[in-house]
Amino acid sequence: MSSLTVQHLTKSFGSTPVLAGIDLTVPSRSLTALLGPSGCGKTTLLRLIAGFEEPDAGTVSLGGAVVSGGGRTVPARRRGIGFVPQEGGLFPHLTVAGNVSFGLPRQERRDRERVRELLALVGLDAALADRHPHQLSGGQQQRVALARALAPRPSLVLLDEPFSSLDAALREETRREVVEALRATGATAVLVTHDQAEALSMADQVAVLRGGRLVQLADPQTLYRRPRDLDTAAFVGDAVVLDADVRGGQAHCALGTVPVAEGCPDGPARVLLRPEQLRLGPPSAGAVLAVVHSVDFYGHDARVVLDLAAGLRVAARLDGADLPAGGQQVAVSVAGPALAFPGADAALGEAVRSP
Amino acid sequence: MLATLVAALALLPLGYIVGYTLDIGWSGARELVFRARVADLLWNTVRLAVGTVVCSVVLGVGAAWLVERSSVPARRLWHVLLVAPLAVPAFVNSYVWISLLPWLDTYAGALLVVTLSYFPFVYLPVAAAFRGLDPALEETARGLGLGHGAVFRRVQLPQLRVAVLGGSLLVALHVLAEFGALQMLRFPTFTTAIYDQYRSTFNGPGATMLAGVLVLLSLLLLVGELGMRGRAGFARTGAGAARRSRPVALRGLTVPALLALTALVGLALVVPLAGVTWWLVRDTGGALDLANLASTTGTTLALAAVAALGTTALALPTGWLAVRARTRVSTMLERSTYLGSSVPGIVVALALVTISIRATPWLYQTTPVLLAAYAILFLPRAIVNVRSAAEQTPRLYDDVAASLGSSGLDRLRRVTVPLLAPGLGAGAALVFLAVVTELTATLLLAPTGTATLATAFWSASSALEYSAAAPYALVMVLLSAPVTVLLSRDARRGLTP
């Protein structure tokens, strides 16, 4: 299994630029998620890697060999890249066995044992082999599509929003099966998604795309805790963003004084907190006071919307055991450090590392 | 490139008429067109078309409502029985009626026979539209305080408009093009007049100018339907399947409803079948010539098979282009084939006779010209099917197969052709069955000595040998029966058991 390297990849459709110089490295045997809102170019990037489209400039290399750009193009069918499209894309005229064995050499296509192994790999019963695609559930179709892509032992597997058409419960289960199958085969995989929870929970590294550019490439924890800018921060999870004045490593903001990373220059900044960093307590003298506006109860946790004295509204995530009622006055404190972005309007500013 | 040639072929008859008119000039055309005889024909043709459309809409919408929306018993059976009259060619229907009731050679008789033959063209799309109506809309309307009548008028009818218009257009085009049934009823319209002119003066300017007026009527209809249909589309908004609607209980009206459906099916289906059978058994003495029947059937099947293959092959590039390379040009090419085939069969035949005599005398009265006529007339049936098959074969399957290491040729063999096959098959079957019962163009274009079921039936019944004609009619009905199954099957899926 080889690694994938993408360098300076550029693509326009007509006069509309879609990708503006993407650089990306996917290590062998890892799962990388391409995360971005719709229209950010993530599916186009996937199609360029697969070889369904030609880039305007830049190169795609697989295991050190250039397959696209630099004057040579390897056609899709010779790249050895497995592709799992949205909604599976199973051939409707073939059975499950026919689909799974489609990419195998002719003499292996009739090998029932091989089909059984491949179905077992994605957690499906061999009894499904003679069904037709329309007789399968959405999750089963996705897994058959993965088995089909894995059958010829590709060096790389591309998954294009494979779970977006599944309902929530099925999505979890299918995700788990897919990750297990990918790990079991040691495949290198690239997954396109617009679902941040999916990207954070499944991937070894996440590439955030916006407006045809790669904004940040990091492992999920780094991405969540140290996003490069506030847009990315808000995209990968709920964010509490406040104006602050930074002096000597302390941010003074509407939630009181919060420590920030060393090296942040003194002056105006915007600070990022995550809702789970906010803590509520009984009102006391000297504390930051707030009034509970509303409570969204989810069972395992709850989202509490607070009106601060300064006229600001922020959200806190609390565990579901002990919740305030609407209209109640509470004291708000902050656990852990904030991430500060220097400058009064720091939406696109450089993040400063917090400890 | 190929698609352009196909479009050119389809537009050939139209071009011929236009070219001829330009040739004889305005005064020549005026002299031939503005005559009392033409006015008579126009009056006959228009009142027959209007009458048939009105009757078909009443019968078609009424029957569709009963079958799809009411509690009438045995709805599946009624559905098949209401589509089944399409299996009886109009000229066979006409032969039965006139042979049993010779006084039917009037406007009323023509109206009766043509309506009974063509009302399923309204019934089918309207039934499908009723089934597509989201019951939630009606419930919402009721919730807003509308009564049953108001719901039908303000909610259902606007949504049925496209289906009713489409069906009416089909009926009207068929009435304009109908020749056999009307000739047999001795009800003169443009088609019968063109035929008589052709018989007496071969291809005089008179026939061509009559054809020109007829074509103009057809085009007016097409344009009018487009204009009335408007731009609004009625698609269900929102995801998920629509719920089944609850049928309206007929209660005391069940028996009258059943009687009405029985009468309709009786007149449209039972009478022609019984009539053919009656003539068949009445005089078996020497009339039944099995050898002749077998050879005629063989000729018909062979012609139909070749025409089906050829027409489907011609439809392939156009239908494929219309979906895969959707440009203004490809859409125009597709539309032009529809335009070409809205020209009545008698005009197509007339044009091909004249063109082949003038340009390619060695082709006149040969099978290739006949096959060309079939292709022009029935291309849309094949194209519609190729198109819908191509729409169900997105590029995605090609991409996936390529990523699995499959080469271009391999993809064609293992993915594209298997996916298109059902659509190609359905298209070919429809063309095949249309050719089996085609009368007008075959009468004019068939090589001397070549008899199909339709022309053999025609010559026997024209000579008033009703018993001799019966076996040919029966074989045609039997061969057309599958088309009924094909047409009703899609629709039946939607019916509640």
Amino acid of residue B487: L
Q: Which one, of B318, B312, B227, lies nearest residue B11 by Cα?
A: B318
Specify the pLDDT at position A344: 54
Amino acid of residue B397: Y
Which residues from chain B sit within 8 angstroms of residue A92, using beta carbons?
392, 419
Average pLDDT over residues B233-251: 57
Confidence of residue B231 (pLDDT cuts 50, 70, 90): low
Same domain, A251 and A118: no
Confidence of residue B333 (pLDDT cuts 50, 70, 90): confident
Specify the pLDDT at position B285: 56
Q: Looking at the domain assignment, is residue A351 inside a domain? A: no
Q: Which residue has the higher pLDDT, B152 or A215?
A: A215
DSSP-assigned beta bridge partners for residue A81: A156
User: Which stretches does DSSP call E strand in B179-324?
Assistant: none
pLDDT digits (tens, 9 = 90+) for B83-109: 888 888 999 999 999 888 888 888 999
Sheet order of strands, A301-308 included: A278-281, A329-334, A288-297, A301-308, A313-319
Work out how many CB contacts closer than 8 A connect A with B: 56
Q: Which residue has the higher pLDDT, B257 or B330?
A: B257
Same domain, B294 and B271: no
Q: Looking at the domain assignment, is residue A62 inside a domain? A: yes
Mutation target for B interface from A83, A108, A155, A160: give the one with most B CBs within 10 A.
A83
Specify the pLDDT at position A354: 34
A340 in Cβ contact with A262 (< 8 Å): no
Confidence of residue B342 (pLDDT cuts 50, 70, 90): confident
Please give the Cα distance from B453 to B475 (Å, whole number).
8
Q: Looking at the domain assignment, is residue B443 inside a domain? A: yes
Residue B4 vs residues A25, A302, B332, B378: alpha-carbon distances, Å? 48, 65, 10, 17
Please give the Cα distance from A45 to A159 (Å, whole number).
12
Q: What percent of chain B has pLDDT over 70?
A: 91
Which residues from chain A sit within 8 angstroms of residue B392, using beta carbons?
92
Q: Is the pLDDT of residue B339 over 80?
A: no
Specify the pLDDT at position A345: 52
pLDDT digits (tens, 9 = 90+) for B69-90: 888 888 888 988 998 888 889 9
**How many domains, chain A?**
2
CATH number for the domain including A322?
2.40.50.140
**How many residues can be counted in chain A?**
355
DSSP 8-state code for residue B73: S
Same domain, A164 and A249: no
Amino acid of residue B398: D
In terms of residue numbers, what domain contains A269? 239-342
Q: Looking at the domain assignment, is residue A270 inside a domain? A: yes
The pTM (predicted TM-score) of the whole model is 0.72
pLDDT digits (tens, 9 = 90+) for A240-278: 998 888 888 888 888 888 888 766 788 888 899 999 999
| CA-based nearest distance B404→chain A, Å | 5
Cα B146 to the chain's mean position, in Å? 38
Specify the pLDDT at position B426: 80
Q: Looking at the domain assignment, is residue A123 inside a domain? A: yes
Specify the pLDDT at position A218: 93
Q: Looking at the domain assignment, is residue B96 inside a domain? A: yes
Tokens 């955030």: give the residue: A208
Average pLDDT over residues A123-129: 89
Specify the pLDDT at position A32: 94
Other C-beta atoms within 10 Å of B448: how many? 5
B71 in Cβ contact with B254 (< 8 Å): yes
**How many domains, chain B?**
2
Specify the pLDDT at position B485: 73
Average pLDDT over residues B258-279: 90
Judged by CB atoms closer than 8 Å, whether chains meet at B404 and A52 is answered as no
What mean pLDDT value characterizes chain A?
A: 86
User: CA angle A304-A307-A313, nearest 5°?
Assistant: 80
Average pLDDT over residues B394-418: 86
Residue A313 vs residues A233, A285, A306: alpha-carbon distances, Å? 18, 21, 6
Q: Looking at the domain assignment, is residue B244 inside a domain? A: no
Please give the Cα distance from A45 to A51 (Å, whole number).
10
Cα radius of gyration (chain B): 24
Same domain, B8 and B98: no
CATH number for the domain including B117?
1.10.3720.10
Same domain, A293 and A219: no
In terms of residue numbers, what domain contains B134? 35-229+256-284
Q: Looking at the domain assignment, is residue A353 inside a domain? A: no
Please give the Cα distance from A263 to A351 (Å, whole number).
11
Please give the Cα distance from A62 to A158 (Å, whole number).
13
pLDDT digits (tens, 9 = 90+) for B343-388: 888 888 888 888 888 887 777 778 888 999 999 888 887 887 787 7
B283 in Cβ contact with B134 (< 8 Å): no
Closest CB to B401 among A50, A79, A102? A102
Judged by CB atoms closer than 8 Å, whether chains meet at B402 and A76 is answered as yes
Specify the pLDDT at position A149: 92
- Write out residues 123-182 of A within 8 Å (CB-CB) of B: 148-149, 151-152
Average pLDDT over residues B441-454: 87
Cα A231 to the chain's mean position, in Å? 15
What are the backbone angles phi and psi of residue A191, rounded to the nearest 5°? -120, 125
Same domain, B269 and B416: no
The residue out of A166, A197, A231 marking a domain boundary is: A231
Tokens 């009626």: give the residue: B97
| CA-based nearest distance A219→chain B, Å | 28
Confidence of residue A2 (pLDDT cuts 50, 70, 90): low
List Cβ neighbours of A44 (8 Å cut-off, separation of 6 or more).
A11, A18, A19, A53
Q: Is the pLDDT of residue B493 over 50?
A: no
Same domain, B64 and B156: yes
Same domain, A182 and A43: yes
Same domain, B268 and B303: no
The residue out of A231, A257, A287 marking a domain boundary is: A231
- Which H or E run includes A273? strand A267-273
List Cβ neighbours of B101 (8 Å cut-off, separation of 6 or more).
B109
Same domain, B303 and B193: no
B127 in Cβ contact with B491 (< 8 Å): yes
Average pLDDT over residues A320-349: 78
Do β-strands A250-253 and A256-259 pair in parallel, antiparallel, or remain unpaired?
A: antiparallel
ipTM over 0.85: no
Q: Looking at the domain assignment, is residue A305 inside a domain? A: yes
pLDDT digits (tens, 9 = 90+) for A16-47: 888 998 999 999 999 999 998 888 888 899 99
Mutation target for A interface from B400, B409, B424: give the one with most A CBs within 10 A.
B400
Same domain, B410 and B395: yes
Q: Looking at the domain assignment, is residue B474 inside a domain? A: no
In terms of C-beta density within 10 A (0-12 exposed, 13-18 middle, 19 or more buried), how is residue B260 classed?
Answer: middle
The residue out of A178, A205, A231 marking a domain boundary is: A231
Same domain, A119 and A249: no
Same domain, A253 and A144: no
Q: Which one, of B206, B186, B7, lies nearest residue B109 by Cα?
A: B186
Specify the pLDDT at position A217: 93
What mean pLDDT value characterizes chain B?
A: 82
Describe the crossing of helices B90-100 and B466-492 by its angle, rounded to 10 degrees. 130
Specify the pLDDT at position B45: 92
Confidence of residue A222 (pLDDT cuts 50, 70, 90): very high
Q: What percent of chain B has pLDDT over 90?
A: 14
Same domain, A194 and A150: yes
Same domain, B7 and B53: no
Same domain, A227 and A245: no
Q: Looking at the domain assignment, is residue B24 inside a domain? A: no
Specify the pLDDT at position B283: 67
Q: Is the pLDDT of residue A1 over 50?
A: no
Describe the crossing of helices B190-201 and B205-229 by its angle, rounded to 10 degrees. 160
DSSP 8-state code for residue B249: P
Specify the pLDDT at position B491: 42
Specify the pLDDT at position A350: 38
Same domain, A222 and A128: yes
Same domain, A110 and A83: yes
**B491-497 contacts, C-beta under 8 A, 24 or more apart:** B491/B79, B491/B83, B491/B124, B491/B127, B491/B128, B491/B131, B492/B76, B492/B79, B492/B80, B494/B128, B494/B131, B495/B67, B495/B68, B495/B75, B495/B76, B495/B79, B495/B131, B496/B75, B496/B244, B496/B247, B497/B76
Closest CB to A89 among B392, B400, B406? B400
Judged by CB atoms closer than 8 Å, whether chains meet at B396 and A50 is answered as no
The string of DSSP letters for A192-213 reads: EES-HHHHHHH-SEEEEEETTE
B446 in Cβ contact with B455 (< 8 Å): yes
Specify the pLDDT at position B142: 78
Specify the pLDDT at position B494: 35
Q: Is the pLDDT of residue B144 over 70?
A: yes
Residue A69 vs residues A8, A9, A55, A180: alpha-carbon distances, Å? 10, 9, 7, 33
Q: Is B407 on the interface with A (CB under 8 A)?
A: yes
Confidence of residue B341 (pLDDT cuts 50, 70, 90): low
CATH number for the domain including A208?
3.40.50.300
| CA dihedral sign, ordered B193, B195, B198, B201 | negative
In chain B the first and final C-alpha atoms are separated, in Å, by 49
Q: Is the pLDDT of residue B393 over 70?
A: yes
Same domain, B63 and B201: yes
Q: What percent of chain A has pLDDT over 70?
A: 95
pLDDT digits (tens, 9 = 90+) for B18-70: 887 777 777 777 777 777 788 888 899 999 999 999 999 999 999 998 888 88
| CA-based nearest distance A157→chain B, Å | 10
Q: Looking at the domain assignment, is residue B488 inside a domain? A: no
Please give the Cα distance from B163 to B151 (Å, whole number).
18
Q: Is B396 on the interface with A (CB under 8 A)?
A: yes
Please give the Cα distance from A95 to A102 (Å, whole number).
10
Q: Which one, of B385, B394, B215, lies nearest residue B311 by Cα?
A: B385
Q: Which residue has the higher pLDDT, A232 or B388?
A: A232
Q: Is A50 on the interface with B (CB under 8 A)?
A: yes
A91 in Cβ contact with A134 (< 8 Å): no
Specify the pLDDT at position A266: 85
pLDDT digits (tens, 9 = 90+) for A306-325: 998 778 889 999 887 778 88
Q: Report the SS3 class of residue B435.
A: helix
Which residues from chain A sit within 8 angstroms of residue B400, using beta carbons?
83, 85, 89, 91, 148
Q: Is B402 on the interface with A (CB under 8 A)?
A: yes
Q: Looking at the domain assignment, is residue A14 inside a domain? A: yes
Q: Is the pLDDT of residue A190 over 90?
A: yes
Same domain, A249 and A222: no
Q: Which one, of B371, B367, B373, lies nearest residue B450 by Cα?
A: B367
Residue B288 vs residues B98, B147, B294, B463, B479: alpha-carbon distances, Å? 21, 60, 11, 16, 19
Please give the Cα distance from B131 to B242 (Å, whole number).
10
Specify the pLDDT at position B286: 56
Q: Is the pLDDT of residue B236 over 50?
A: no
Q: Is the pLDDT of residue A352 over 50?
A: no
Same domain, B146 and B276: yes
Tokens 């077992």: give the residue: A120
Average pLDDT over residues A190-212: 91
DSSP-assigned beta bridge partners for residue A318: A302
Same domain, B381 and B298: yes
Amino acid of residue A292: V
Same domain, B430 and B454: yes
pLDDT digits (tens, 9 = 90+) for B451-470: 899 998 988 888 888 888 88
pLDDT digits (tens, 9 = 90+) for A173-189: 888 888 888 888 888 99
